[in-house]
Amino acid sequence: MTTPESQAVAERELCGLVNGLARRIGDHVRERAVALGLTSAQATALRELTGPMTMTELAERMGCEPSNATFVADKLEKLGLLERRPHATDRRAKQLVLTREGTALRERLLDLLVRDSPLAGLTQQEQDVLHGLLHRAVTAATSPSPPADSL
């Protein structure tokens, strides 16, 4: 049961499971986003805007190019959810700040994301265990994204 082969197989299965869950979550996010009149990318941005930040920081959090972050920020700004304010110390940078409406919608979004989430089928205790494992997995692998140069 603990042969290298069975390990490899189990790891593949696990990879598939996580991928499946990831897609499920992606669908979930998109559905909830649509329910709020947002696109998936806009919802992601809203979720990542845990506080005031620059365009570059948002782009990094979203895992995309700054120009794409500009695109999404434009949409959110037109929707009145976001404001670009001058940065306190660097006049090149913009400080992204959620408006009152933006903050409110973000709350609604987070609530929707939690409700009926693909994780709702687990008990609180199971979710705690899952939380610990995911936290370990994410913090343990702290080198995949930064380079981003495709070789």
Partner DNA sequence: GGTTACAGCTTGAATATTTCAAGCTGTAAA
Partner DNA sequence: TTTACAGCTTGAAATATTCAAGCTGTAACC
**Looking at the DSSP assignment, which residues form a beta bridge with residue 84?**
96
- Position among 11, 65, 107, 111 found at the interface with DNA (CB under 7 A): 65
Q: Work out whether 109 is an interface residue with DNA (CB under 7 A).
A: no
**Cα separation, 69 vs 112, whole angstroms:** 23
Q: Quote the tokens at residue 58.
A: 């948002």
Q: Are 94 and 85 spatial neighbours (Cβ–Cβ below 8 Å)?
A: yes
**Looking only at residues 110 through 139 of this chain, which bind a second copy when binding is defined by CB under 8 A?**
110, 113-114, 116-122, 124, 126-131, 133-139
91 binds DNA (CB under 7 A): yes
Rule CB under 7 A: is residue 70 a binding residue for DNA?
Answer: yes
Question: How many degrees, rounded to 5, is the angle at CA 60 between CA 100 and CA 108?
Answer: 30
Binding site for DNA (CB under 7 A): 39-42, 54-57, 64-74, 84, 87, 90-94, 150
Binding site for a second copy (CB under 8 A): 2, 7-8, 10-29, 31, 34-35, 44, 47, 63, 110, 113-114, 116-122, 124, 126-131, 133-141, 144-145, 150-151
